[in-house]
Amino acid sequence: MATARGGGVGCLLVVVVAVACLSCAAARSPAARAHRHLKRLNKPAVKSIESPDGDIIDCVHISHQPAFDHPFLKNHTIQMRPNYHPDGLYDESKSAATSSNGAGEKPMVQLWHQGGRCPEDTIPIRRTKRDDLLRASSMRRYGKKRHPAPNPMSVDPNLLNEGGHQHAIAYVQGEKYYGAKATINVWAPKIEQPNEFSLSQLWILGGSFGEDLNSIEAGWQVSPDLYGDNNTRLFTYWTSDAYQATGCYNVLCAGFVQINSEIAMGASIFPISSYSGSQYDISIMIWKDPKEGNWWMQFGKDYVLGYWPSFLFSYLGDSASMIEWGGEVVNSQLDGVHTSTQMGSGHFPEEGFSKSSYFKNIQVVDSTNNLKAPKGVGTFTEQSNCYDVQNGNNADWGTYFYYGGPGRSSNCP
């Protein structure tokens, strides 16, 4: 009998251990890890709004946003407004985006606004879905770039199309820059492969193009891999170590502190430009608050969106050493041929207004906190027969450039 009882206890222990092992395995399963990751990304919502494009926008209390997952921000007092705006800011239109078709201004909104608005003291956050995580190469890399900023100083032919990325940009260097601004024409470029993207943005850069590069970025992008569709979306990005470990898109990690309840990072922009039709622009400015040292972002005239705390950066803790504006695409070279993914409108600069895409009124912020026209603007593209850039200057548009292209063609094999 004793032996029988001992055997029963032994069997029970085996069963308990087996159940425990199964529980551990379940906790480590991709589904369980995805569930935990979604809980970290999606904060409790005061209100949720369904967008016509299928997005869910969660209105999250301003003090519960992802920024405060950062250990340095645990007890951070939110700065609700910048101490200073750069002089010369308020000489443009009153809307976040405007029509340039000569028929007067048309207000730009984000598509989710058709479903409602977030209340005060909350911020709108695009909800991350399980499918978003599953499209990523790994959950750890979700929401992170895997490529460097364009380096116009690198003209080594062996480095052209390095990592599959191509650019058509304007840039300045040689001074200390405390911000930049641009009005950016908005399009919906066609993307050939789901792992490719097309974007138009400005870069605020500090340091070398080595492993210590600091970058703050903002603009619009079409990225099926990141968002699961081909919508044109407002985005931001930051890194303090050349995209290795720090930083992320939008508010997908701790860092950017959002204060605005009306504009959602990563949400669809609406409406967009059409070929030979109405043209729609967005205005973006990023600048360093001279008092607190934080880098602020503004969308249009009325929407101060938030800031990147100065402690996130090393070189940008002081100033930027280069500013870039322009377009970027991924060229995956499937089957050894150039992608047909479009940049900008998908048309070359020489086609001009309402056909080619543009940046206009590009400016930099100087050490006296003044917006001014940039000096010594250079241009750069790896393959001008695929994507090109042409700059100019006039009284109406200030410093501007047209850029973009169709990608693969008889001249871009």
Q: Count the alpha carbons within 13 Å of 388 in the hemisphere toward its beta carbon.
A: 15
Tell me the pairing of strands 303-308 and 295-299: antiparallel
Helix (H) or strand (E) holding 298: strand 295-299
26 vs 33: CA distance, rounded Å? 9
Class of residue 242 by CB neighbours under 10 A (exposed 0-12, middle 13-18, buried 19+): buried
Task: With H, G, I as helix, E, B as strand and everything else as coil, classify residue 123.
Answer: strand
Task: Name the one residue in this structure whose structure tokens are 């599953």.
Answer: 134
Task: Name the one residue in this structure whose structure tokens are 């206890």.
Answer: 9
Q: What are phi and psi of 404, to 5 degrees?
A: 120, -170
Q: What are phi and psi of 285, to 5 degrees?
A: -135, 140
Helix (H) or strand (E) holding 30: helix 30-41
DSSP type of residue 276: T
Is 328 one of the catalytic residues? yes
- Of these residues, 192, 196, 324, 328, which one is catalytic? 328
The token pair at 265 is: 């990072």
The token pair at 377 is: 């603007």
- Of these residues, 192, 217, 324, 382, which one is catalytic? 217
206 Cβ contact list (under 8 Å, min separation 6): 213, 214, 215, 313, 314, 315, 316, 318, 319, 320, 321, 322
Q: Which residues are catalytic?
A: 217, 328
